[in-house]
Amino acid sequence: MEKREILKEFGRNLKAERNRVGLSQEQLAEKVGLSYGQVVGMIERGETNTSLTVIVSILKVLGLKFEQLINLENGKN
What is the secondary structure of 15-37 as a DSSP string?
Answer: HHHHHHHT--HHHHHHHHT-S-H
Q: Give residue-wise pLDDT tens across range 36-73.
A: 889 999 999 999 999 999 999 999 999 999 988 988 77
* 8 A C-beta contact, residue 7 and residue 71: no
pTM of the predicted model over 0.75 = yes
In order of their start, the domains of the chain are 3-63 (1.10.260.40)
d(CA 55, CA 39): 12
47-51 CB contacts, 8 Å cutoff, 24+ apart: 47/7, 48/7, 49/3, 49/7
